[in-house]
Chain A
Amino acid sequence: MMKLVRHRLFWPLMALVALLVLNILKNPGFGRITVRDGHMYGALVDILRQSAPLMLVALGMTLVIATRGIDLSVGAIMAVSGAVALTIIDSSDHPGDMSTVLIAIVVAMLVSLILGAWNGFLVSVLGIQPIVATLVLMLAGRGVALLITGGRITTVNSEPYKFVASGYLFLIPFAFIIALAAIAVIALLERRTALGVLTEAVGINPEASRLAGVRSRGIVWGAYIASGVLSGIAGVMYASNIMAADANAAGYLIELYAILAVVLGGTSLMGGKFSIAGTVIGVFTVQTLGSTILFLGVPSAQSPVFFAVVVILVVLVQSPRVHRWGKSVGQRMRSGPRTPAEGTKEVAA
């Protein structure tokens, strides 16, 4: 039992379960899933479907954070990728063709790959701080996206493209299948090869890992490229969901929600040890919290207050000072009543 509680994913998972239970208590219909003409319906299915873009972005963010970095440009890359895809479909003669849509998606992903590689170049080759290096693209990216769409909100009508975000495959939302595939690929690459260990080594101590013969440059660069490509897919998905390329709204604040999801999942922002399962749990927690807030009748604009409280609680729980307080309280409770002098001595020790 203790072992289960000590597991580092225990508390993140408990938070998610608590949120779900709260929702089901408030509205028993929340947990119901119905199947109608090949689609699954229900609040939980909606959460799975809506969490897909955040899941992709957060997976990339996990890798970047594991290398002691951070990628602020994910939202901007989403905007660019969505703008590229929709502009290609919009300007083609056959917007409904499968081939047009495929070309659009591939080009959008290539552009995101280049943007990710650019971030990685600044960080790993020029040695610029990750926050600043990715800030450049975060600022400039949305401008680029606006230029691509000509400052308008490009809208298209294309059935195959719509399928990306709104389609169903084997009853399951297609967007969630893409997210699952991304989780599987990342988990296999990082956990079934040495890549994950090497990434953690670079994040824990870049200098020591370099001396041990780890080629940190390629690993760091790769993490930013992965983050770029995953954000690109998320951008394609976002644009497909609303069937429009909105350069200002696409991926707005998603970098912050993604970082929050990664931190909720127990990956430290100091780099090193990362947990893909933790990030998955974190993403579901963030998404469920968002739905819960809406569900409780709070205007969506006011939901940041709740997120602020969550961020503060999470960082407080993780902070060493609170750990010390918790420990000293625990010790005092276990060893029964004592004189205050002894109690303070213990805290000092």
Chain B
Amino acid sequence: MTTTTETTSTAKPGAAHLVSAFTTRHASWLPTFAAVAILVVLLAGAQIRFGNFITPGNMSALLLDNAFLMVLAVGMTFVILTAGIDLSVGSVMAFTGILGASMLASGVPTIVVIPTMLLSGAAIGLLIGVLVQYFNVQPFIASLAGLFLGRGLAYVVSLSSIRVEDPAVLWLQGTRMRVGDWYITPTGILALVVVVIGALVLQFTRFGRTIYAVGGSESSARLMGLNVARAKVLAYVISGLCGGLAGLILTAFSGAGYPRNGIGTELDVIAVVVIGGTLLTGGRGYVLGSMIGVFVFGVIKAIISFMGAEQSWMQIIVGALLLLFIVVQRAIVSRTSRTG
């Protein structure tokens, strides 16, 4: 029955035909387009309401304030594409941040500290990945162990915040590269580079395509002879690595390591990735979409502080957006599974 409606709709000439052909061919991009549309509406609405919202300074601050979130979102996209989930990112970020700050405070050179931060993040990711892949632990539970571990270790390193005075780390944040009134910091560049690398790896490498295949159907991917185990473990390692990098960025951003950083950040990251159009059932989604999701998140936050409203609205609006997107996704999935 659905096949007949499909044929009649493709036979129809004109704009309706173009729209339907476009939506069927690019169904997996639809949620991301929806996110772009929401971003545009938000920006336009804020500009009309406040008059001085879209300024170079504001837009540059958007990237600066959310650089760590963007890095985390890239890692989370890899994991969610394999139909997994990583709850540990917030506490991994806190752990690597405080670890780095404490090592710097005790005089360890920066050249040693930064790799250590990245590697300790990756190590927690590896632990989660091995539990998921080799011991059949559900990603939710395995990354829950990662969450507890990261948070606890952060407090083991230090119970209070540690200031960072290392010039190299502060350079990441303090430098403003200006073009007119626009500026970008090394942390912003780092975040964008991570997005680009993530997008390229997922689109054009064998590993990236395996990630999509695993998320689409793990057993089919295995029967095709793809290295499922490696792809899944690596996805968690990448997420952990991104956690470590986000720890570095956040430490630079706040000028200190603090063990209570990033409480609840894992939820924001998951929300951002979903808003960016990645399906939590795996196999569909884009790193670029997650970047759009981060911008949507950042713009909402900026609007709320512009209005002087309470930040508790942030949680409610993000929750509502998340709901909107999962309902949209649900509709898309049920439609494509009927036609395909």
* Inter-subunit contact A142/B327 (CB<8 Å): no
A290: chain B residues at CB < 8 Å are: none
B203 on interface, CB distance cutoff 8 Å: no
A256: chain B residues at CB < 8 Å are: 144, 147-148
B159: chain A residues at CB < 8 Å are: 299, 301
A139 on interface, CB distance cutoff 8 Å: yes
* Inter-subunit contact A146/B312 (CB<8 Å): yes
Taking CB atoms and an 8 Å cut-off, the chain B residues in 285-331 that contact chain A are: 310, 312-316, 318-320, 322-323, 326-327, 330
Q: Could you mark each residue 257-270 of chain B with 1 if its beta carbon is under 8 Å from any beta carbon of chain A, else 0?
A: 00100000001001
Write the chain B residue with the least CB distance to A149.
B312
A21 on interface, CB distance cutoff 8 Å: no
Question: A312 with B140: in contact, given A135-B271, A137-B319, A302-B155 (CB under 8 Å)?
Answer: no
* Inter-subunit contact B137/A140 (CB<8 Å): no
Report the Cα distance A299→B140, complex, angstroms.
Answer: 27
Listed residue (B144, B271, B274) with the most chain A CB atoms within 10 angstroms of its CB: B144
B281 on interface, CB distance cutoff 8 Å: yes
Q: How far is the CB of B240 from chain A (nearest CB, A)?
A: 14
B318: chain A residues at CB < 8 Å are: 139-140
* Inter-subunit contact B319/A315 (CB<8 Å): no
Chain B residues with a Cβ closer than 8 Å to the other chain, count: 45
Q: How far is the CB of B320 from chain A (nearest CB, A)?
A: 7
Q: How far is the CB of B280 from chain A (nearest CB, A)?
A: 5
Which DSSP category, helix, strand, loop or mixed, fits chain A's interface? helix
Report the Cα distance A129→B147, complex, angstroms.
Answer: 22
A316: chain B residues at CB < 8 Å are: 131, 135
B215 on interface, CB distance cutoff 8 Å: no
B142 on interface, CB distance cutoff 8 Å: yes
Specify which of A143, A260, A303 is in contact with B312 (CB 8 Å cutoff): A143
Q: How far is the CB of A70 from chain B (nearest CB, A)?
A: 7
Q: How far is the CB of B339 from chain A (nearest CB, A)?
A: 18
A128 on interface, CB distance cutoff 8 Å: yes
B44: chain A residues at CB < 8 Å are: none
* Inter-subunit contact B152/A139 (CB<8 Å): no
Specify which of B148, B267, B270, B271 is in contact with A311 (CB 8 Å cutoff): B148
Q: Could you mark each residue 8-44 of chain B with 1 if its beta carbon is under 8 Å from any beta carbon of chain A, else 0?
A: 0000000000000000000000000000000000000
A41 on interface, CB distance cutoff 8 Å: no
B145: chain A residues at CB < 8 Å are: 308, 311-312, 315
Report the Cα distance A305→B91, complex, angstroms.
Answer: 12
Question: A319 with B315: in contact, given A139-B267, A302-B155 (CB under 8 Å)?
Answer: no
* Inter-subunit contact A306/B152 (CB<8 Å): yes
Q: How far is the CB of B157 from chain A (nearest CB, A)?
A: 10
Q: How far is the CB of A296 from chain B (nearest CB, A)?
A: 14
Write the chain A residue with the least CB distance to B155.
A301
A254 on interface, CB distance cutoff 8 Å: no
Write the chain A residue with the least CB distance to B312.
A146
Question: A133 with B149: in contact, given A140-B315, A146-B310, A301-B159 (CB under 8 Å)?
Answer: no
* Inter-subunit contact A131/B280 (CB<8 Å): yes
Q: Could you mark each residue 286-316 of chain A with 1 if its beta carbon is under 8 Å from any beta carbon of chain B, else 0?
A: 0000000000000101111111100110011
Q: How far is the CB of B330 from chain A (nearest CB, A)?
A: 6
A107 on interface, CB distance cutoff 8 Å: no
A218: chain B residues at CB < 8 Å are: none
Taking CB atoms and an 8 Å cut-off, the chain A residues in 220-266 that contact chain B are: 247, 256, 259-260, 263
* Inter-subunit contact A143/B323 (CB<8 Å): no
Q: How far is the CB of A69 from chain B (nearest CB, A)?
A: 12
Q: Could you mark each residue 134-151 of chain A with 1 if its beta carbon is under 8 Å from any beta carbon of chain B, else 0?
A: 011111111110110001
Q: How far is the CB of A306 from chain B (nearest CB, A)?
A: 7
Report the Cα distance A312→B153, complex, angstroms.
Answer: 15
Q: How far is the CB of B171 from chain A (nearest CB, A)?
A: 31
* Inter-subunit contact A147/B131 (CB<8 Å): no
Specify which of A136, A259, A301, A319 is in contact with B322 (CB 8 Å cutoff): A136
B151: chain A residues at CB < 8 Å are: 304
Listed residue (B153, B280, B323) with the most chain A CB atoms within 10 angstroms of its CB: B323
Write the chain B residue with the least CB distance to A303.
B152
B314: chain A residues at CB < 8 Å are: 143
* Inter-subunit contact B319/A136 (CB<8 Å): yes
Q: How far is the CB of B233 from chain A (nearest CB, A)?
A: 15
* Inter-subunit contact A307/B267 (CB<8 Å): no
Taking CB atoms and an 8 Å cut-off, the chain A residues in 292-348 that contact chain B are: 299, 301-308, 311-312, 315-316, 319-322
B204 on interface, CB distance cutoff 8 Å: no
Q: Could you mark each residue 106-144 of chain A with 1 if its beta carbon is under 8 Å from any beta carbon of chain B, else 0?
A: 000000000000000010001111011101111111111
Q: How far is the CB of B276 from chain A (nearest CB, A)?
A: 14
Question: A132 with B280: in contact, given A138-B267, A315-B142 (CB under 8 Å)?
Answer: yes
* Inter-subunit contact A140/B149 (CB<8 Å): no
Specify which of A143, A247, A299 is in contact with B155 (CB 8 Å cutoff): A299
B119 on interface, CB distance cutoff 8 Å: no
B7 on interface, CB distance cutoff 8 Å: no
Report the Cα distance A299→B312, complex, angstroms.
Answer: 30
Question: A302 with B141: in contact, given A127-B330, A308-B148 (CB under 8 Å)?
Answer: no
Which residues from chain A sit less than 8 Å from chain B, CB to CB?
A: 70, 122, 126-129, 131-133, 135-144, 146-147, 151, 247, 256, 259-260, 263, 269-270, 299, 301-308, 311-312, 315-316, 319-322
Q: A132-B280, A301-B152, A308-B145 are in contact. List 20 more A-B contacts (CB 8 A).
A: A133-B326, A136-B326, A138-B267, A139-B271, A139-B315, A140-B316, A142-B315, A144-B316, A146-B315, A256-B147, A259-B144, A260-B144, A269-B141, A301-B155, A301-B159, A304-B148, A305-B156, A307-B148, A311-B144, A312-B131
